[in-house]
Chains A and B, each alone.
Chain A
Amino acid sequence: MKIAAAFGLGTARAERMSGGNGDSELVPQTRLSGPMPWVIAIMVALTVIAMAAGLTLSNMAASATAELEGGVTVQIIEARPEIREAQAAAATEALGTMPGVVSLRHVPQDEVDALIEPWLGAGVQAGAGAAVPVPALIDVQLEGQVSEGRIADMRARLETAAPSARVDAQSDWLKPVFDAIASLQWLAIALVVLLAVALAAAVLLAARNALGVNRDTIEIVHLLGGTDRQIARVFQRSIGIDATGGGAVGFVLALVVILFVGRRFSGLGAGMIDNGALGWTDWLALVFVPIAAAALAMLTARITVLHALRKML
């Protein structure tokens, strides 16, 4: 053959100085290191579980808030039953004409007895000479949210009609519960953030290790005219495959845990917990976790490799 034929690509080479996409074999596709996909799988599983817990708590809180929104309880705290009932009737009448009141219900004595029965036993309230005086209850539903101003307005109206009345927003009773739920939500968010940072750190270490192992090859490719981006792309793709595989495994693990725990909790039949069930938008957010993990891993690998390459001439 003529040797000039072997140089036939000279012109084509010169025309493509900007670099192309034939970089798939520039450095060995070794998968950054053996445990890497499993580290990512565990991180993703924990993140999905933490996020699912956070979303469940959020749903529970939202549901309870919606139920209690606008709810006000009026108690007539009076030991003498006849005065208590008279004041309850007067209060019901006074509140019935108040603007913004959607519904109003004087809770029958039977219901009140049933409410306290688990603690005080049956028949405690029977008869006028009851040993333990229990307040009369009026359940009021206001239009919109309950504010301090509206509570004060109700108190003012009841001051003369029912001087023994005590007015409380129903949401106040559950405030400690809401606070606890909010704390757990923050805990879940903190866990998700910490796990993301830990994932990025693990990828950074793995990328640096891979860079060290392949340093000689990278230097050769560099001297042959390979660009930083070409080399970074190879590492990015390699860890992208790791992260996608690990993320998928982690998501399936988390899914099994969530479904198992969810089934256990639904068996309790407690209203508030039932209301925490994950909706389709929640599941969408959970599916986003392994995708975000893969994106984070690839971004971290790219930044790490580019940073290391910049130290070479």
Chain B
Amino acid sequence: MSQAADGEIIQFDNVGLRYGTDREVLSDLSFTLYPGSFYFLTGASGAGKTSLLRLLYLAQRPSRGMIRMFGTDAITMPRRRLPALRRRIGVVFQEFRLVPHLSAFDNVALPLRVAGITDRELAKPVADMLEWVGLADRMDARPPTLSGGEQQRVAIARAVIGRPEVLVADEPTGNVDPDMAVKLLRLFEALNGLGTTVVVATHDVHLLQKVPESLIMRLDKGRLSDPTGALRYPPRRPARPADAPS
């Protein structure tokens, strides 16, 4: 279990983010994510969801404030130590960001190869994962030949294959049919059941209702509200989200 398993896994303290000299797109974010919790991040388009996720998966440093991840100060951490931290985080990008010259199999295998897993070790888990997301017969297909939904499933398989301690997903069900959306959500829940902290950014109200144990974080013009008490400790776990966005 991780060092942070006893307490917080990610902690934001008074975090702000601005691009260049523009106004802050995120302001005064202070919250804590706990191991094994399932969070939905909601908010209108342009509220700053993707920016917050970029901070979570270490693609961006904040303009101010403090971020602790897995018990380490992620702001002052030397750059050479960031890859090890990133390998503990699975990411589903909004635009999938699959590597176009690699097959579906190789895209899913990528985090494992980066972590040094041999081809022999990774062959079965990757094949199993692709089978689970319904792409067993598309393993050798390259992303440009896959449909939007298929690409999204490859992206999700890639994000979860390494069993990350934190899974960050940006609109992960935006391009799949309702049945597949539910199936993918079950995948996230299964991962969550194994101890992974899941953060899903979405504006799909139906999705929130399908995970009653989830906690809601709502962003509004770069500021965070806490409709379900997700940011308190111990977090309140409502039976159903009380303040889903319309």
Q: Which residues of A contact B (CB under 8 A)?
A: 1, 3-10, 12-13, 16-23, 25-26, 28, 216-217, 220-228, 230, 310, 313
Contacts and interface: CB of A to CB of B under 8 A. Distances in A.
B83 to A, nearest CB: 5
A25 B102 contact: yes
A22 B163 contact: no
- Tell me what chain A mostly uses at the interface: helix, strand, loop, or mixed: loop
Given A18-B116, A221-B110, 12 more contacts: A4-B194, A6-B129, A9-B121, A20-B117, A22-B114, A26-B114, A221-B99, A223-B86, A225-B86, A227-B80, A228-B80, A313-B58
A21 B112 CA distance: 11
Interface of B: 57-61, 79-80, 82-84, 86-87, 91, 97, 99-102, 106, 110-119, 121-122, 125, 128-129, 131-132, 158, 160-163, 186-187, 190-191, 194
B79 A310 contact: yes
A208 to B, nearest CB: 20
Contacts of B115: 13, 16-17, 19-20, 225
A6 B111 CA distance: 14
A5 B125 contact: yes
Shortest 4 CB-CB contacts between residues of A and residues of B: A20-B116, A10-B163, A225-B87, A22-B113
A22 B116 contact: yes
Given A224-B86, A225-B86, A225-B114, A9 B122 contact: yes
A216 B128 contact: no
Contacts of B82: 313
Contacts, number: 123
A224 B161 CA distance: 12
Given A1-B131, A16-B117, A7 B160 contact: yes
Which of A3, A5, A23 gathers most chain B CB within 10 Å?
Answer: A3
B203 to A, nearest CB: 23
Given A1-B131, A3-B187, A5-B128, A25 B117 contact: no
B93 to A, nearest CB: 8
Which of A18, A25, A216, A228 gathers most chain B CB within 10 Å?
Answer: A25
12 contacts: A1-B131, A6-B128, A7-B161, A10-B162, A16-B116, A20-B113, A20-B116, A20-B118, A22-B113, A25-B102, A216-B97, A224-B86
Contacts of A20: 113, 115-118
A226 B125 contact: no
A20 B114 CA distance: 7
B114 A221 contact: yes
Contacts of A16: 115-117
Nearest to A17: B84
A22 B129 CA distance: 20
Which of B58, B60, B87, B131 gathers most chain A CB within 10 Å?
Answer: B87
Nearest to B82: A313
A230 B115 CA distance: 10
Contacts of B106: 25
B59 A313 contact: yes
Nearest to B103: A25
Given A1-B131, A22-B118, A225-B115, A9 B163 contact: yes
